[in-house]
Structure 1
Amino acid sequence: MALNFFFNYPGMHQLIVSRILESLEASEVAYTSDVNLPVHRSLLNGKGEELLSAAYRELEGKDDYPLLHHLKVPVQVGKHLLVYDDANHFNRYRLVTLKSALYRVFNYPWHAAYLRMCRTHERECLLSGLQERVWSGPPLARSCFGPADVPGELSGTGAPGWKLNAYNDLQYDLISRLEGYRLHRIPAYENLMIGGRLQRIDKLLLRPDDSVMRAIGAWLLRKMG
């Protein structure tokens, strides 16, 4: 099953992404925005297919596992891809995919932090992710994972939209690596030392302050090595 879908949260999410771009500009970093990277299915033959299929089954997916046609990436800096993850990316389903074999085959510097954030921030996901378009997701989500429970009810079939989002995150992690890119995830809950105190990146990115933008740009450069 093939697909070309990835959740795109409007409003606040897009504002924060635009501020990430501003921070790169403040540090005079050349970048490309709104990039569509084609997925070469042949790279997944064998082990890649096995990793995707296993993770999909762990989420109780039905029929064949879906596959993205493209990776839609908000920011590319050379071979580095930057993706911002808001509250809707931290829940029990993403935790399931983060525990999959993929993360034992490949090393991702942010992996341990994401495990912790998924365990500790699901409450915030429940506050932000109950809208129909997020909880139930598109028709594909229900086709893959069955009908949605009542919003907020996670004891039964739960949220097919959340499950598809978690599965797509795993696809990005695997496919970007196979395509030769380094994917850097920027979680809303990342803390930076700015002005002598730790502050959350999502809050900092909403402050139109030149010095803060330069500090964030420098931090992103360090992440990219």
Structure 2
Amino acid sequence: MHQLKVQNLIKVLLENNVDLEEDFRLEINKKLLDDKAAGLQAELYECMGGIGEPVLLERLRFDFRIDRFLFIYDDAVHFNRYRLATLKASLYEVFTFSWLDSYKRLCRTFERECHKAGQHDRIWNGPPIATKCFGESMEPGDLTGNGAAGWKLNAYNDAQYDLLSRLHGYKIIRIPMYENIMTGGSLKKIDQLLMNPKEENYNAILNWLQRKAV
């Protein structure tokens, strides 16, 4: 479903002659992680209760790139208490992210939706590295105690994306599934519009996205 929405968004952009690169990959240059940046990363890892040394992503994958802007679509599992904790870290004081305040609000508002979508083993427990980094998860749905290691890994990696993309000179544009745009005289969720976008909504979608890339 995620990929369908992204492909529909890309289709709208291409039909309006927007020059973009799909499925953009960014190889991480570890030399850019100086002492200050390493400190920011360590703080993110610690606020998730990380065990041992912080794990650094080696490459990042984005839905698409337009010039120096990297776009990524965030669905329900990206909005919860762990992501909110990372958004309060020093990284977001050192660097400016236009979507920061709205993401904090969405994390507070929509954790219940994350709870519904995020109890599958691959999300709740995550890959083996999640347990290695953040310990054993509680039973699915139980956010007491150590909570969900997979959710913590997700939140930590999201924050790594924010940090590492900026260190490489890019600006990350996050698209939350809950965002509303005005089209046809009413507000509609971008998530719904991208399921099956109609031509009469193309201009609204295009203008909405272009306002982000400034």
TM-score interval (norm. to shorter): over 0.9
Structure 2: gaps of 5 or more residues:
none
Q: 1:102 aligns with which of 91, 95, 101?
A: 91
Across the two proteins, how many residue pairs are aligned to each other? 214
Indicate the residue corresponding to 2:23 in structure 1: 34
Match of 1:126 among 115, 120, 140: 115
> How much has 1:211 moved relative to structure 2?
2.1
Counterpart check, 1:156 vs 2:145 = yes
User: Amino acid of the residue matched to residue 66 of structure 2?
Assistant: V
Distance 2:2 2:110 in 1: 17
Corresponding residue SS for 1:67: coil
8 Å contact kept, 1:149–1:157: yes
User: Which of the numbers 187, 193, 199 marks the counterpart of 2:188?
Assistant: 199
The corresponding residue for 1:57 is: 46
TM-score, reference length from structure 2: 0.98
Q: Secondary structure at the match of 2:4?
A: helix
**97, 102, 108: which is aligned to 1:113?**
102
2:182 and 2:204 in contact (8 A); partners too: no
Q: What RMSD, in angstroms, separates the aligned Cα atoms of the two structures?
A: 0.9
1:78 alignment partner AA: D
Paired letter, 1:56: Y
Q: Distance in 2 between matches of 1:181 and 1:21?
A: 19
After superposing on structure 2, the runs of 4+ consecutive aligned residues of structure 1 that deviate more than 3 Å are none
What is the SS of the residue equivalent to 2:71?
strand
Q: Which of 179, 182, 199 is equivalent to 1:190? A: 179
Cα separation, 1, equivalents of 2:203 and 2:129: 41
What SS does the corresponding residue of 2:188 show, helix, strand or coil? Answer: strand
Gaps of 5+ in 1: 1-11
Aligned equivalents of 2:146, 2:43: Cα separation in 1: 19
The AA in structure 1 aligned to 2:35 is: G
CA distance in 1, matches of 2:19, 2:112: 37
> 2:185 is matched by which residue type in structure 1?
G
Specify the SS of the correspondent of 1:68: coil
Deviation at 1:78, TM superposition (A): 1.2
Read off the aligned partner of 1:115 and give its amino acid letter: K
* 1:165 equivalent in alignment to 2:154: yes
TM-score w.r.t. the length of structure 1 is 0.93
CA contact (8 A) 1:205 1:213 kept: no
Q: Is residue 44 of structure 1 aligned with residue 33 of structure 2?
A: yes
1:44 to partner: Cα distance: 1.1
